[in-house]
Structure 1
Amino acid sequence: MKKYEVYKNIRKGAMIWGLPISLFAMMMLSILASLLIIIFSFSLLVVIGAILWNGMLYIGLTKLARKAILLNFNKVFPKIISNKKENILYDVDY
């Protein structure tokens, strides 16, 4: 009987084929674009080029995903949201 492991690292982020969701979506867009190119300009060199491109992209994205430091972005939202004017000159009522 086959055993399945429980994925306990769900808080680290969902992974598909070793890629985070955003990088996996980029990989799928590349595959779809290469399929369209193959369909509309069918030749052996185009097929080999598309396979090599998608393979190199996958290898590059998996290496990028393993280096988590490169994917850490600054927080978008500030800690405090306030309507208070920052400049003292605007505090005067007319």
Structure 2
Amino acid sequence: MTKEQFLSMLVLEGFPEPILVEREADGFLDDHTHPFEVKALVVSGQIDLVVDGVSTSYISGELFHLLENQVHTERYGNNGVQYLASRKNQSESN
């Protein structure tokens, strides 16, 4: 997916403007949640997410989606990761 396609999708789905998130090489976050829904486009590097015991790797051009309060872990590739993340609170969609 291109950045332009991602931005268009966000508008159609009522998500706010994304921010650029950068994570360090070989970093990780153990089990945690976010108080918002996330749609993100990987710009460079790699992120591995584990949700419900299933690990999925995402690289440049790929989209990942996490629901509000969804338990997950994050691991970042040996070059780190950069992604555009749009965060939507449940109250924003009502």
Q: Identify the TM-score tier after normalising by the shorter chain.
A: under 0.3
Larger radius of gyration: 1
Q: 1 or 2, which has the higher strand percentage?
A: 2
Structure with the bigger RCO (C-alpha within 8 Å, sep 6+) is 2
Normalising by the residue count of structure 1, what TM-score does the alignment of the two structures yield?
Answer: 0.21
Normalising by the residue count of structure 2, what TM-score does the alignment of the two structures yield?
Answer: 0.21
Q: 1 or 2, which has the higher helix percentage?
A: 1
